[in-house]
A and B are shown apart, each in its own frame.
Chain A
């Protein structure tokens, strides 16, 4: 097959894979954004737990980050994907028998699993960022009579963001790449899965995996530009 007809395989017609690759790109971005949002939430909770005075909270957070960071992402993804679905089904079956044939949405399960993994790394990034806020600032806020929540919202979060952004940017880039793992689950429609399907059907493995890789590179480039702009914006008060 010559070069021209190879590219015609990418056309946006009923015979081309172009449309499906674009759909895959959208799914990958959706999964990454949702998983990242979950990991932000878990990271904030985890970092607060690690810095709290409660021994139990610290212990749980330590176990969480240690375990997640020692296990391969693929293994965690499968474990959480299966167990999460089973757990939800079990809880629903306790509530009512109507839910017996309830199926967990694979998209939601994948997002939960990826978010859970990212949350452990996010915890460490946020913990470091919170620790790099000068203590005097928090003392000053206390002296002004701010409540703990107000200190979090007005002093810790805005300043922490500046320190956390490089790490958060890296985690976003890994979130987009880790989202490719969900293609293993077999019923996702993400970018790598499209590459898998297209190459299996047409037998042009090298070509379609390259297309998928180039689209991933595109996500990375755009993300890097946005991260750089955000960094410039957050550091505008300095230097």
Chain B
């Protein structure tokens, strides 16, 4: 047991160094994905079938196929297009060679699908009276969306979004399969180098639990802040 503990201490710095990679994967995918979710949700509610059907199809495909298949498709499928072309000489190549950006691309598109569906429901749940009130004040359609519908929808779906963000944090472990050395990938690398099966995985698991805990707390603060007008003054 002592020997195991000593081993944990020796691998801790390597694993801890991978934490920022996992966190930035989560952060950028959430940022891009949730931003993309807004047009996806709006399009899926549009009366125009040319917007509604593609958006509904997009949500369906993203939710209906495994994230791992999407990640492989983007990493290997896009990667197949580039080698031997002008792209290889371009200034973008260092980025296009790196699995990190493919992972963010895949996770963002996936998040956009899932969040788009959640946001769609939330937009529909915004009380009609609030939109009517805004219209009575002479708000333009765009202003109503940015000032009333969207903020209210985000407020409504925030608890669900907390859950989604945690799912995203866990899903970033799939990036290890396209050569991104985040926590999971680093753990598997340590497994291969040290021939230890359990300790690296358990250590990575502890790190994930801590990250999920901190993220939950952070989202609770965000929820508190967004709902601050509802808090009864002490």
Contact = CB atoms under 8 A, between A and B. Distances in A.
Interface stretch (B35-43, B72-80, B92-100, B143-151): B72-80
Contacts of B170: 70-73
A199 B78 CA distance: 13
Interface string B38-78: 00000000000000000000001101111111101100111
Contacts of A196: 72
A161 interface: no
Interface string A179-209: 0110110000000100110010001111001
Interface of A: 67, 70-75, 78-79, 82-83, 86, 173, 177-178, 180-181, 183-184, 192, 195-196, 199, 203-206, 209-210, 212-213, 216-217, 220-221
A210 B204 CA distance: 32
Given A71-B205, A206-B77, A217 B72 contact: no
Given A73-B170, A180-B66, A79 B73 contact: no
9 contacts: A79-B202, A79-B205, A181-B66, A181-B68, A206-B73, A206-B77, A206-B81, A209-B72, A217-B61
Contacts of B68: 180-181, 183, 192
Contacts of A192: 66, 68-69, 72
A98 B212 CA distance: 44
Of the four ranges (under 10, 10 to 19, 20 to 34, 35 or more), the interface on chain B belongs to 35 or more
Interface of B: 60-61, 63-70, 72-73, 76-81, 166, 170-174, 176-177, 184, 187-188, 197-198, 201-202, 204-205, 208-209, 212-213
A73 B167 CA distance: 10
Q: Which of B61, B65, B188, B213: most chain A CB closer than 10 A? A: B65
Nearest to B71: A209
Contacts of B172: 72
Contacts of B201: 75, 78-79, 82
Given A72-B171, A83-B198, A206 B65 contact: no
Task: Name the 4 nearest CB pairs between A and B, nearest first.
Answer: A206-B77, A205-B76, A72-B173, A220-B64
Contact of B64 (A79, A203, A221): A221
A57 to B, nearest CB: 22
B105 to A, nearest CB: 14
A75 B76 contact: no
Contacts of B166: 70
B205 A195 contact: no
A216 B197 contact: no
B23 to A, nearest CB: 14
